[in-house]
Chain A
Amino acid sequence: MSAYTPPLLPSDDKRWKIVNGTMRKNGFARHALIETLHTVQSSFGYLDDDAIRFVAQSLRVPLSQAYGVVTFYHYFSLKPPGKHTVTVCAGTACYIKGADKLIAAAEKKLGIAQGQTTKDGNVSLMVARCVGACSRAPVALCDGEVVGEMSREQMIEQLERWTVE
């Protein structure tokens, strides 16, 4: 094993150690790029410039490649998520059962478009390609929790509950 000294952690935030752990587990191999980005996103909630730079440097991957990968895959986010996130599934079964109406209702209620977060950073409205709960369409994930056969009223109620908090 050649002696490779990875760069220092960006700060003493403990989460960087978790990120570093993923890279070490993979021997700082380049193919661990996506795995590592997953760890960053699950630890920090999103990927910022510092994180991308740190991971690219540690794995000796050109910044262009790292940025290319981050922006290629839908799962990675460059923006911090809101305090709450509602993710409406837009898979085929959900579309057939009116997911577009749920999205429209949420957009109207929150005054933002899909993919955005309210100005106060309280709620993010995301759209997923398919969460695999098709038998209960239309489906939305409210802070990760699956809500099946969701009605427009339920959507608005949920959003109001979050706004009151």
Chain B
Amino acid sequence: MTIEELEQIAKSVQQENAKYDYELNVCMDLACASQGADKLKDALVRAVEQSGKKVLVRRTGCMGPCSHGPLVRVDPEDTLYSKANAAHAEKIVAQLGSEPVAGLQCDLNEHFDSQVRVVLENAGHIDPEKIDDYISRDGYKALLLVLTEMTPNGVIHRITESGLRGRGGGGYPTGLKWGTVAKSHGDLKYVVCNGDEGDPGAFMDRSVMEGDPHRVIEGMAIAAYAVGASKGFIYVRAEYPVAVSRLTTAIREARRRGLLGNNICNTPFSFDVEIRLGAGAFVCGEETALIASIEGRRGTPKPRPPYPAMSGLWGKPTLINNVETYANIAPIVRNGGKWFFNMGSERSKGTKVFALTGKIANTGLVEVPMGIKLREIIERIGGGVPKGHTFKAVQTGGPSGGCIPAEMLDVGVSYDALLKMGSIMGSGGMIVMDDTSCMVNVAKFFIEFCMTESCGKCIPCRAGTAQMHTLLTRICSGTGTMDDLELLEQLCSTVKEASLCGLGQTAPNPVLSTLKYFRHEYIDHILNKRCPAGVCNMESQVEVMA
């Protein structure tokens, strides 16, 4: 494969697409698929056949606004139909070239206007199972550019220059990490993609792996070239069967095209990727635990140093990045580090994909430039809290993050700002809560999660989260005391400071942030035996109900 051959493929796809007058892009991501997108697509294909019109019906990955699904976009008009089903198919096809179908068109300009699509640039535009579709949108161009024109150091320099930070949550500078692995000695090195999206309430990585799998593979291959690795692993949750199947297809196709394997594009560079399945353990998102899991062992973390960059998978230098981090690599290589650096805020560059869910009008995937105000995401892009309820908090960072109250909504989203507010960026879950959510119960929910997911290796996390859960259960049932609250706060600092890995160190965050911003709710539960949101079953009420 050469650049010329790649361009030839792109050209032939474009010529093929030019034969059609219209494109019907059908979103087949999980949310749309669960509402009959499959049948809709089949019905569209049939309707097109009967009409005799030249229309390309294409399956695509997530288009974003899931709550409006199933979604169909008509191109080149760029008309978006929402809540479409098989019964609408004939009408949709019949109206091609004239007025859009009345009542089906949705106006989501507000939702899309403030978004910037880098990671999701192909989502909704390509068939994820067709490598040629990806190639036609500049796919694998960056890999070939890197292999033929850049030195490994040049690549690392470009990534460093871009200011990209790890999208898995911690925000470690990606270029720095790559540089460390590149400098580590060893004839065998590995690159690993962390696709163990364990944060409940987040599905960005699933959508990227399912909707644009080649982008992840290309990013990994570029990383492998930069750090000197020849073997890669993608660690995916077993709960994501579609992602596994799409990645499997993508790897096979990439091998077939000579974009993975030995002597890629007739250069000395060889690289191949294997998929490893997770088995449902949140702690495996922690890099040393993830390594243990790939090695076929229980996913328990190890103290760092040594960092995986020095001694990782089977003791070899290993680069571990998150799905979204790899998905950012190809565009950075193509467009230059400066292009990326110019997006975002002072210390958080580029864009971030968020899974916007909970009590909000437009749920789904959004990609926004770093630095955008939370208010803009929630009110403008998300359409605000629906009918009759008021916004209470937005939760970011999952079980390691915190709840941000209404008065902080004008803060711009960045790694540092979120940390300062007592939350974290996390992988990108963003769950909106309204007045029907009890913040003490929310804290209990997350501590219960961490308690169950604690691997048990270190005491502060194993016993600490269990004790915190007991105290929160007492408070939530109206039997807690002010002493319990004090003890809870003490435990928070112990668990935070003394735990071995990120799971334990961040487990108290949901408690600490709710205590900081919603302390009155805790007090109400303890002193007045009252749950302001009416969520918790107070003991006295339990008796009445029984």
Residues of A within 8 A of B (CB): 30-35, 37-38, 61, 65, 68-69, 72-76, 90-93, 95-97, 128-137, 139, 145-148
Contact = CB atoms under 8 A, between A and B. Distances in A.
Given A133-B34, A135-B363, A72 B201 contact: no
Contact of A73 (B280, B295, B355): B280
Contacts of A134: 201-203, 355, 357, 363, 429, 431
Interface string B267-280: 00000000011111
A96 B433 CA distance: 7
Contacts of A30: 296
B293 A34 contact: yes
Interface of B: 30-31, 33-35, 66-67, 197-203, 206, 238-240, 276-282, 293-299, 355-359, 363-365, 395, 398, 429, 431, 433, 437, 442, 445-446, 449, 455
Query: Which 5 A-B pairs rank lowest in CB-CB distance, beginning with the nearest?
Result: A92-B201, A91-B200, A135-B66, A73-B279, A74-B280
A33 B206 CA distance: 25
Given A75-B239, A131-B239, A135-B31, A92 B398 contact: yes
Contact of A135 (B67, B281, B299, B359): B67
B42 to A, nearest CB: 17
Contacts of B293: 34
Contacts of B364: 135
B279 A74 contact: yes
24 contacts: A30-B296, A31-B296, A34-B276, A37-B279, A65-B297, A72-B281, A75-B280, A76-B279, A76-B280, A90-B200, A92-B201, A92-B445, A95-B445, A96-B359, A96-B437, A131-B239, A132-B203, A134-B201, A134-B357, A135-B31, A136-B34, A137-B358, A137-B363, A139-B34
A87 B200 CA distance: 15
B279 A34 contact: yes
A139 B297 CA distance: 31
Contacts of B281: 72-74
Given A38-B238, A133-B34, 10 more contacts: A73-B278, A75-B278, A92-B200, A92-B446, A93-B358, A93-B431, A129-B200, A135-B203, A147-B34, A148-B31
A86 B447 CA distance: 25
A96 B201 CA distance: 10
Contacts of A128: 239
A90 B238 CA distance: 17
B240 A132 contact: yes
A141 to B, nearest CB: 10
Contacts of A136: 31, 34-35, 66-67, 363
Contacts of B296: 30-35, 61, 69
A92 B203 contact: no
Nearest to B313: A31
B433 A146 contact: no
Nearest to B298: A72
B437 A132 contact: no
Contact of A137 (B240, B357, B449): B357
Contact of A68 (B201, B276, B294, B298): B298
A72 B296 CA distance: 12
A130 B201 contact: yes
Nearest to A130: B200
Instruction: Identify the interface centre among B201, B276, B364, B446: most chain A CB within 10 Å of its CB.
Output: B201
Contacts of A130: 198-203, 239
A87 B433 CA distance: 24
Contact of A75 (B200, B279, B433): B279
Contacts of A75: 238-239, 278-280
Contacts of A61: 296
A60 to B, nearest CB: 12
A35 B370 CA distance: 38
A115 to B, nearest CB: 12
Nearest to A65: B297
B507 to A, nearest CB: 14
Contacts of B280: 73-76, 129
Contacts of A76: 279-280
Contacts of A93: 200-201, 357-358, 363, 431
Contacts of A146: 30, 33-34
B200 to A, nearest CB: 3
Contacts of B33: 146
A97 B277 CA distance: 29
Contacts of B201: 91-93, 130, 134
Contacts of B279: 34, 37-38, 73-76
Nearest to A36: B296
Instruction: Identify the interface centre among A68, A93, A97, A147: most chain B CB within 10 Å of its CB.
Output: A93
B294 A31 contact: yes
A147 B293 CA distance: 31
Nearest to A145: B34
A143 B331 CA distance: 40
A129 B282 contact: yes
A54 B293 CA distance: 20
Instruction: Identify the interface centre among A35, A73, A137: most chain B CB within 10 Å of its CB.
Output: A73
Contacts of B299: 72-73
B429 to A, nearest CB: 7
Contacts of B297: 33, 65, 69
Contacts of A68: 298
A46 B282 CA distance: 21
A69 B277 contact: no
Contacts of A91: 200-201
A97 B223 CA distance: 40
A27 B260 CA distance: 22
